[in-house]
């Protein structure tokens, strides 16, 4: 492998990493709340696929097993992150304390 394709790959990976970090900083606590966020996510997925396409041409056959293992671990990491986000979003919200400044909350019996 020559240094030039590796340099291009490094630039692509760094650009993707910076974009992912920028997007992660913009995620509100309740997740993506607008179409703009979804459009940014789609653009970042396309950038990641572009990096993967570049990798296909650069990696020798004997390293593909290692690349697949890294990809498998990345997918497992993403699944874990998604699970944590779903749990956080589905967790019950705490009620305001009795006697607080917030409006009183009562349970209404349903018959």
**What's this model's pTM, rounded to 2 decimal places?**
0.36
> How far, in Å, are 9, 34, 35 from residue 68 at the CA level?
17, 34, 32
Please state the rounded mean pLDDT for residues 58-70.
78
Domain ranges of the chain: 1-58, 61-91
Which range, 10-24, 55-69, 80-94, has the best average confidence (pLDDT)? 80-94
Ranking 1-5, 23-27, 48-52, 105-109 by mean pLDDT, the lowest is 1-5
pLDDT digits (tens, 9 = 90+) for 67-88: 788 888 999 999 999 999 888 8
Q: Do residues 12 and 51 lie in contact, with contact meaning Cβ atoms separated by under 8 Å?
A: yes
Q: What tokens does 57 get?
A: 């041409």
Q: What is the reported pLDDT for 31?
A: 55
Q: Do residues 74 and 68 lie in contact, with contact meaning Cβ atoms separated by under 8 Å?
A: no
Q: What is the reported pLDDT for 17?
A: 76
């Amino acid at each position: 492998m020559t240094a030039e394709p590796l340099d291009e790959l490094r630039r692509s990976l760094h650009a993707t990493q910076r974009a992912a970090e920028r997007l992660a900083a913009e995620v509100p606590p309740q997740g993506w709340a607008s179409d703009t966020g979804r459009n940014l996510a789609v653009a970042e997925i396309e950038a990641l696929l572009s990096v993967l396409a570049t990798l296909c041409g650069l990696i020798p056959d004997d390293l593909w097993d290692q690349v697949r293992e890294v990809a498998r671990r990345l997918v497992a990491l993403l699944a874990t992150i998604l699970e944590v986000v779903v749990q956080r979003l589905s967790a019950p919200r705490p009620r305001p304390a009795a006697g607080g400044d917030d409006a009183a909350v009562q349970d209404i019996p349903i018959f």
